[in-house]
Amino acid sequence: MLKVLLVDDEMYIRRGMYELIDWHSMGMEITGEAENGLEALDKAECLKPDIIITDIRMPILDGLDLIRAVEHSGTLEPVFIIISGYHDFKYAQQAIRYGVQDYILKPIDDEEMTATLQKAADLIRSKRKHSFLAEEEASRIMLKDLLKGQIQKEDEIRYAEMIGIGHQTRMMIALVELQTGLKRRNITVHQVNDILHKIKDDRCELYVLEEQRNRMVLILLWKHPYPYGSVEEKIQTIQKMLSDHLEIDIALYAGTVVDHMTEVARSYAEAEEAYRHKFAESERIVYFAAVKDKTLYVFNVNQELIDQLILCLEERNRTACHTIVDDMFHLFQSRRFSPQAVTGSLLRCITGILAVVHEMGGTDTGLQQLRLLAEQGQEGWNLRLLKEAFLKAIEEAEEYMAQLRTQQSKGEIHKIKRYIDSHYTENISLKSIAAQFYMNPVYLGRLFRKSYNQYFNEYLLHLRIQQAQKLLRQTDLRMYEVAARIGFQNADYFVTQFEKIVHMTPTAYRNLLKEDGQRGAQ
């Protein structure tokens, strides 16, 4: 597989590239992503990509600077494809001078990108044919040609001798999936080979090839006499040994046994088809023969189920959320959802949750688990791991939405208090203010008390009495005039409330001030 590195500062552009192209059918895999040129340079040194697809304008180190840096590295020779939202011919000219394969404008057209990638693949393979290959590398290339059915008739004998295929050798392909979920582990082909070396014997030869992240190809060669009854036993042994030694979930997807090297590509295609049933089958080993007549569901879950989940998140009903997720994952298996349908359904849930969070003024940074889940492909997961990760992600989303709601409430209640302070002289009530701010009166009353440790009516009354005291100190207004000025329509009621809080009548309060003033003058 040709290794591809995606470089773009927009995460959703990088995510979209996964779905835009059928990478596997083109003999490619996305082995890494980067948000800027500097990060891409570090990853390129580590991953040694064959193709780098990069945006031009990015922070820290832009696309053209990345191309220059790679060119001067001396150790990297990838094919570059530039994508950009800026129709700037000068950039295109500079890119072409640096040997860029093509320059593509956003929004990316899938047919244009596919054609460009095919040209890049042809260029890379042409160069490789003229390069010196070590024997181990040559064997690996030959095995990949075998899987793809790309062996010419005149090369069959040479390939057979190099790989060790005899006249009566029978072959089988199985895909090995390392199911680690979000806990990525750097497990190499050499590690897997070392484990499987213990079960090799004179009759069965094993080859392991790294295919893509979390997935390897296992080639089994049985020599004469062919042990007809031991295929499943051997596959089961391989699965158990890898699980035990690597201490992770391992799943195997097996094609059928074939008699000739020209049929190996068919066994590989069958293993691929078995892999497509990974979420529909409960077993860790899926045989093509067992699923070939079973139909997969290729659509996303009903939008109603997604809407219910988001509603329960907003209402902080965690029990209901868990029930909906249980139902959804049961549906994935019982209705035999394809991997694309499962990941597509979860992505629609994530997109819906993100939309609500953005409406509430939140950002993606408050949803780390959802972001991580959205960035993963379908490889490396089983339903159990996927469900655990999804539940953790929506629980984080629930907490974040509650936090945003609290922040919103605090901001809103401060606005309401300022409104009361400005309109206390008017005939206002909890009900009228709630209507003014499109809130439930009961909820507003509770929120006010929680925020200010005081009931609304109590706060309004104290505010009015404080203003009445001020008027009594500073003016000669009559009692009914003071009452009207601070929002009381009934002067007697004003006097009663004043006396309740100040513990004297308004007249006594004013007279007391006068007496104090006279004593001060003497």
414 in a structural domain: no
Same domain, 428 and 400: no
Is the separation of the CB atoms in 404 and 316 below 8 Å? no
**The residue count for the chain:** 522
Separation between Cα atoms, residue 113 and residue 83, nearest integer Å: 10
Please state whether beta strands 170-179 and 215-222 pair in parallel, antiparallel, or not at all (unpaired).
antiparallel
- Please state, for a pLDDT cut of 90, what percent of the chain lies above it: 48
Nearest CA among 174, 173, 140 for reference residue 159: 140
Domain-embedded: residue 413: no
Stated pTM of the model? 0.57
Report residue 277's pLDDT band, with 50, 70 and 90 as the boundaries. very high
Range of the domain at 11: 2-129
How many CB atoms are located within 10 Å of the residue 355 CB?
11
Q: What is the pLDDT of residue 169?
A: 81
Taking alpha carbons only, the member of 26, 59, 61, 58 closest to residue 42 is 61
Copy the structure tokens of residue 177. Answer: 């999936």
Q: Which one of 129, 149, 165 terminates a domain? A: 129
Identify the domain boundary among 406, 432, 465: 406
Residue 289 or residue 148, greater confidence: 289
Asked whether the beta carbons of 224 and 214 are under 8 A apart, the reply is: no
Q: Sorting pLDDT into bands at 50, 70 and 90, what band is 366? A: confident
Give the mean pLDDT of 475-491: 93
Identify whether residues 274 and 144 lie together within a single domain.
Answer: yes
User: For 337, which DSSP code?
Assistant: B
pLDDT at 328: 97
DSSP code at position 292: T
Q: Tell me the pLDDT tens digit for each residue of 436-447.
A: 888 888 888 888
The full DSSP string for 15-54 is HHHHHHS-TGGGTEEEEEEESSHHHHHHHHHHH--SEEEE
Would you call 198 exposed, middle or buried from its count of C-beta atoms within 10 A (0-12, 13-18, 19+)? exposed
267: buried, middle or exposed (CB in 10 Å: 19+, 13-18, 0-12)? buried
What is the rounded average pLDDT of the residues 266-290? 96
**Do 18 and 122 share a domain, yes or no?**
yes
Residue 76 has pLDDT above 90, yes or no: no
- The Cα 259–Cα 169 span in angstroms is 7
Ramachandran category for residue 224: left, alpha or beta (phi over 0 → left; psi -120 to 50 → alpha): beta
Query: According to the 3-state scheme, what is the secondary structure of 234-278?
Result: HHHHHHHHHHHHHCCEEEEEECCCECCHHHHHHHHHHHHHHHCCC
- Residue 348 pLDDT greater than 70, yes or no: yes
Which of 98, 129, 160 is the endpoint of a domain? 129
Q: Is residue 237 part of a domain?
A: yes
**pLDDT tens digits, one per residue of 400-425:** 988 887 776 677 788 888 899 999 99
Are 360 and 393 found together in one domain? yes
Give the DSSP per-residue string, 54-88. Answer: EESS-SSS-HHHHHHHHHHHSS--PEEEEEES---
Considering the domain architecture, whether residues 152 and 85 belong to the same structural domain is answered as no
For the record, the structure tokens of 444 come out as: 């507003």
Does 159 lie in the same domain as 39?
Answer: no
Are 97 and 119 found together in one domain? Answer: yes
Mean pLDDT of the chain: 87
- β-strands 215-222, 204-212: how paired? antiparallel
User: Pseudo-torsion of CA 156, 212, 383, 332, nearest 10°?
Assistant: -70
Q: Is residue 110 part of a domain?
A: yes
Sign of the C-alpha dihedral computed for residues 266, 267, 272 and 274 taken in this order: positive
pLDDT at residue 146, as a whole number: 83
Give residue-wise pLDDT tens across range 80-137.
998 877 666 566 667 666 667 778 887 888 888 999 999 888 888 777 655 434 455 6
Neighbours of 362 (CB within 10 A): 20
Determine how many CB atoms are found less than 10 A away from the CB of residue 404: 18
Residue 494 clears pLDDT 90, i.e. is over it: yes
Q: What is the CATH number of the domain that holds 103?
A: 3.40.50.2300
User: What DSSP element (H or E) covers 514?
Assistant: helix 506-521
Q: Which two tokens stand for residue 173?
A: 């392909």
Average pLDDT for 484-496: 93
pLDDT in tens, 201-260: 777 888 898 888 889 999 998 876 655 567 888 899 999 999 999 999 999 999 999 988
Written as one string, the DSSP assignment of 377-427 is -STT--HHHHHHHHHHHHHHHHHHHHHHHHHHHHHHHHHHHHHHHHHTTS-
Determine, yes or no, domain membership for 368.
Answer: yes
- Statement to judge: residues 428 and 443 lie in one domain: yes
**Distance between CA 104 and CA 179 in Å, rounded?**
35
pLDDT of 256? 94
Whether residue 240 lies inside any domain: the answer is yes
Two structure tokens written together for 119: 């040209």
Cβ–Cβ under 8 Å, residues 104 and 112? yes
Based on the fold, state whether residues 310 and 398 are members of the same structural domain: yes
Considering the domain boundaries, does residue 296 fall inside one? no
Going by pLDDT thresholds of 50, 70 and 90, the confidence category of residue 461 is very high
* Residue 492 placed within a domain: yes
Cα–Cα distance measured from residue 267 to residue 273, given in angstroms and rounded to the nearest whole number:
10
Q: Are residues 75 and 91 in the same domain?
A: yes
Q: How many domains does the chain have?
A: 4
CB 310 within 8 A of CB 360: no
Question: From CA 279, how far away is CA 341, in angstroms rounded?
Answer: 10
Q: 315 and 265 in one domain?
A: no
Do residue 145 and residue 273 come from a single domain? Answer: yes
